[in-house]
Amino acid sequence: MKDEADIYDGVRAQFPLSFGKQSKPPTSLEKIHDSNRRSDQPSSATTASKSNDLSSLSSSSKAWLDSLRKERTSKSSIGPPRPPEMEEDDDGAMIGPPLPLQSVGTVDDDDGVMSGPPRPLKPVQTEDDDDGMMIGPPRPPVESVTDDDDDEEEEEEEEENQHRMPSSNEIALKGHTKIVSALAIDHSGSRVLSGSYDYTVRMYDFQGMNSHLQSFRQLEPFEGHQVRNLSWSPTSDRFLCVTGSAQAKIYDRDGLALGEFVKGDMYIRDLKNTKGHICGLTGGQWHPKTKETILTSSEDGSLRIWDVNDFKSQKQVIKPKLARPGRVPVTTCAWDREGKCIAGGIGDGSIQIWNLKAGWGSRPDVCVEKGHSDDITGLKFCSDGRILLSRSFDNSLKVWDLRQMKESLTVFKDLPNHYAQTNIAFSPDEQLFLTGTSVERESTTGGLLCFVDRAKLELVSRVGISPTCSVVQCSWHPKLNQIFATAGDKSQGGTHILYDPTLSERGALVCVARAPRKKSVDDFEAQPVIHNPHALPLFRDQPSRKRQREKMLKDPVKSHKPELPMTGPGFGGRVGTTKGSLLTQYLLKQGGMIKETWMDEDPREAILKYADVAAKEPKFIAPAYAQTQPETFFAKSDSEDEEK
């Protein structure tokens, strides 16, 4: 037995400690998505019972299944009627083998058994004979009960999710300490950038991110300046970062700084003669088609077009049209889809549009004065170039027809906006557009995403993002079919992602379903420090010498405190330290050649020693006063008279 135990221990030592242990079963995707389901959405069981869809199917697979079900339903309705005993599934298909067809013209015998071969079937459009007997097989019903139920269920599903918004589930990318004011998703949908008022930019990668949803890099473009806008290049290899400073920065895909644009001379009055912006930036976007061109707007009252290959000077300076001469800030800017048109929101509330053509200048082609009563925070072109959306501090969203810009098509009011980066976004099919709202002090509603139907120009849905945080930036990615919304307040900030397991693709679905990395045998972890006061001296921690060091600091000798300079006469203030300032005096005093006895004598007796000498040789009084000096008369003491 002992040998067997030794053999077992030897074999067991060749395997890792985790060998033979039962691992926890992996969590199913349905449970993971149920944990991320929004509270205002129905549960997975209810949704599955209504839609009869699999939650793991994509939108393309779902459409293919629906087409198959409709074909099977239409085929199953042809033929003789089913008896009530037969059961049907939800798709309307008959379960079990079909019943044998009965012959129409056969004669039954007395026992009720059919004799003779069955007659051939006649077409469905049979006619009754003179006796009123139906010839041929019975006709199928025009509309069955199951078909009505299926049609009603499909109509209910279409009404419930008419616009097919992926808002059933939600995750949040956190990490910022203040509100998130900038958002950018690359064209493939694999990387997300978020900028905040805490002066940092965080980079998220869906392919390398697990369920902890941590960012893989954090940047601080300019110290002490808020991040106001982020934009990817058309090829998604670089991105533009716009902050509150006068210089925009370019980074590569991995967050390495490639360069920053030059700052202009603030003492030059004409903005066209400066090589760059002279005040803080308010917005910026990369050209939608050309990867070397970007557009920026600034508080100095100008828009500038830059070449990424030349950081020392801009290509074009655009000055808006003003009612009075001066400097009015440009609060936002935007390209159209083809990059042939530029729109700018001016601080006086006007909207100005420039068409890029040969010989064009600063004069705008379209100028809408008093487009808004306050600063404009966001502009957005539709892809067909017919509609322009504008968002403003006056708590409104306006829809403009680019062919007739005198008046807006409609105005959506009561949309609170307290941030200069609040934008507008379109859905992938551009049938909807959405914007965020801010939280007001006395209001009970939180930050919302408001969806508007483009055709009907009416508000169709409101989605609550946060009860206490305002929603600033929003985006609906066409490839992922997921909605991104940034929110936050003075103490926190994050990016909320709305998705639907049946409609969305990749993105949040990938990182949520991916479990954290399993620990390997080769992983190294630092051993924790265990404090045990009753351990042996060999394993006992060294006592703390903090109090001993503090005591030594208070001791001037041990802490080598320098000596303070002495005050008083002497060379360098050091009289008394060497018992004489001269070397000769020091040697005579130490050898006993100079004796100082004045410390032991009475000062009155020492003065009276020189009284007779002073009377005979008055060298202490000037000779000029010797002849005129009066004689002193001293009164004799009474004691002497009494003695006589």
* pLDDT tens per residue, range 59-89: 444 554 466 555 544 544 444 444 444 444 4
Region for 386 from its dihedrals, namely left if φ exceeds 0, alpha if ψ lies in -120 to 50, beta otherwise: alpha
Return the pLDDT at 287: 94
Q: Is residue 49 part of a domain?
A: no
CA 622, 623, 627, 631 torsion: positive or negative?
positive
Residue 32 DSSP SS3:
helix
Return the pLDDT at 70: 57
Q: Which residues, given as ranges, of the chain have pLDDT below 50?
A: 42-61, 64-65, 72-73, 75-93, 101-113, 115-116, 121-138, 140-146, 159-160, 573, 575, 644
Return the pLDDT at 442: 82
**pLDDT, tens digit, 9 for 90 and up, residues 621-636:** 666 666 777 776 656 6
Within 10 angstroms of residue 459's Cβ, the number of other Cβ atoms is: 14
- Is there a single domain that holds both residue 408 and residue 545? no
Joined tokens for residue 141: 């019903």
Return the pLDDT at 112: 46
- Is there a single domain that holds both residue 358 and residue 493? yes
Cα(107)–Cα(114) distance, rounded to whole angstroms?
7
Q: Is residue 500 part of a domain?
A: yes
- Is there a single domain that holds both residue 507 and residue 541? no
Adjacent-strand bridge partners of 475: 484
555 HSE (CA, 13 A, CB side)? 9
Task: Give phi and psi for 638, each to the nearest 5.
Answer: -65, -25
- Is there a single domain that holds both residue 443 and residue 399? yes
Cα(267)–Cα(273) distance, rounded to whole angstroms?
11
- Is there a single domain that holds both residue 178 and residue 324? yes
Return the pLDDT at 416: 92
Strand order across the beta sheet in which 482-488 lies: 169-176, 493-499, 482-488, 470-477
Joined tokens for residue 556: 């001037």
Domain with residue 394: its CATH number is: 2.130.10.10
Host domain of residue 568: 537-619
Q: Is residue 44 part of a domain?
A: no
- DSSP state at residue 403: T
- Looking at the 3D structure of the chain, how many domains does it have? 2
Q: Is residue 249 part of a domain?
A: yes
- Is there a single domain that holds both residue 207 and residue 252? yes
* Residue 301 near residue 314, CB atoms below 8 Å: no
- Is there a single domain that holds both residue 256 and residue 397? yes
Return the pLDDT at 207: 87
- Is there a single domain that holds both residue 550 and residue 582? yes
Return the pLDDT at 593: 64
Q: Is residue 346 part of a domain?
A: yes
Joined tokens for residue 56: 């793991």
Joined tokens for residue 28: 């199913």
- Is there a single domain that holds both residue 509 and residue 545? no
- Is there a single domain that holds both residue 308 and residue 349? yes
Q: Is residue 164 part of a domain?
A: no
- Is there a single domain that holds both residue 330 and residue 362? yes
> pTM value?
0.62
Q: Is residue 174 part of a domain?
A: yes
- Is there a single domain that holds both residue 499 and residue 560? no
Q: Is residue 163 part of a domain?
A: no
Please say which residue of 513, 547, 568 terminates a domain.
Answer: 513
Joined tokens for residue 472: 């600033």
